[in-house]
Amino acid sequence: MHSSTTLFTVGTALRRAENNNLPVEVLVHGQWLRGTVAGVDGHGVVLSTPSEHAVVRLDSISAVRIPETMTESSVAETFDQQHQLAVADAQNDDRAFAMPGATTA
C-alpha cells in the first residue's frame, strides 16, 4: 500500500505568495495584517506595503490568506486606502474569523 502525504505550512504558503508577488493576510494574535511578502525565512516574514514594512515571527501566525484571483489593479491598490498594514479584529460574535470589510450572510 502506497500513501502520499503533503504537508502545507505557513512558511510554504508565504513562499508561494512571495514567488508570485501576491498580497497576503496573516492572522497574528487575533488581528489580520496585510501586505506583500518581501522576504521569508525559517523564523519570520517581512510584510511590505508602499509605506512600511513589518516583521512577523512565523510561530505567531495562526493562518494565512492568499487571494484566489487578482483584479487588474496594481498590488498597491489592493491595500487599504491609507496604504498601511491593515489591522482589524478578526473574530466575529460567532467566534468565526472574517476578513476586514467582508460581509456575512
Domain count, the chain: 1
Q: Is 95 left (phi over 0), alpha (psi -120 to 50) or beta?
A: left
Domain with residue 57: its CATH number is 2.30.30.100
Mean pLDDT, 10 residues at a time, the chain of 105 residues: 73 93 95 95 94 94 84 45 45 43 42
Quick one: pLDDT at residue 6? 65
Quick one: pLDDT at residue 25? 95
What length does the chain have? 105
Residue 42 lies in a domain: yes
CA 67/CA 16 separation, integer angstroms: 12
Question: What is the extent of the structural domain holding 34?
Answer: 23-67+75-88
For the entire predicted model, the pTM comes to 0.61
Residue 2 lies in a domain: no
Q: ∠63-25-71 over CA atoms, to 5°?
A: 130
Q: ∠43-65-8 over CA atoms, to 5°?
A: 60
Map residue 47 onto helix, strand or coil: strand
Quick one: pLDDT at residue 8? 79
